[in-house]
């Protein structure tokens, strides 16, 4: 099932950065004990693991089970839930457009479940 949410960088900005919040419905299968969450950059670099919140790659400044906070607005982030035993995998791609540099009507954030 695909879903999308459109926002600008200013809409995800919080007092200490930019918050990428995973929709609650993404966690319906996450009760399995062998599941893990991973956050990747656009180029596939591992940036954060919620189970190890002190090991973060710039621009990530914090991570928890349902959100990631960055120090600057980034174009794209990937969130993955992976369960080894069942083979279950759920990817969420966050795409963000900064409205100050975007063309008209492209200042959007799209959440696409792959």
Instruction: Please give the average per-residue pLDDT across 5-24, as a whole number.
Output: 86
Instruction: Please give the average per-residue pLDDT across 8-27, as a whole number.
Output: 88
What residue segments make up the domains of the chain, in order of their start? 9-113
Phi, psi of 101 (to 5 degrees): -115, -5
The answer to whether 81 and 35 have CB atoms below 8 angstroms apart is yes
Q: Model confidence over 73-111: pLDDT tens digits? A: 988 898 888 888 888 888 888 888 776 544 444 444 444
pLDDT at 105: 43
- How far from 55 is each of 24, 39, 59, 102, CA to CA, in Å? 24, 12, 12, 32
Instruction: Please give the average per-residue pLDDT across 42-55, as a whole number.
Output: 93
**What stretches of 3-59 adopt beta strand conformation (E)?**
13-14, 17-21, 35-41, 46-48
pLDDT at 97: 78
CATH of domain 9-113: 2.60.40
pLDDT at 59: 97
Phi, psi of 9 (to 5 degrees): -55, -40
């Amino acid at each position: 099932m695909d879903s999308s949410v459109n926002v600008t960088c200013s809409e995800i900005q919080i007092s200490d950065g930019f918050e990428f919040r995973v929709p609650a419905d993404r966690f319906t299968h996450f009760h399995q004990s062998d599941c893990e969450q991973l956050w990747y950059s656009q180029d596939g670099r591992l940036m954060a693991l919620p189970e190890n919140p002190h090991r973060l790659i710039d621009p990530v400044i914090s991570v928890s089970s349902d959100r990631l906070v960055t120090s600057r607005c980034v174009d794209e982030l990937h969130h993955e839930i992976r369960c080894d035993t069942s083979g279950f995998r759920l990817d969420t791609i966050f795409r963000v457009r900064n409205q100050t540099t975007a063309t008209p009507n492209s200042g959007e954030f799209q959440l696409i479940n792959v």
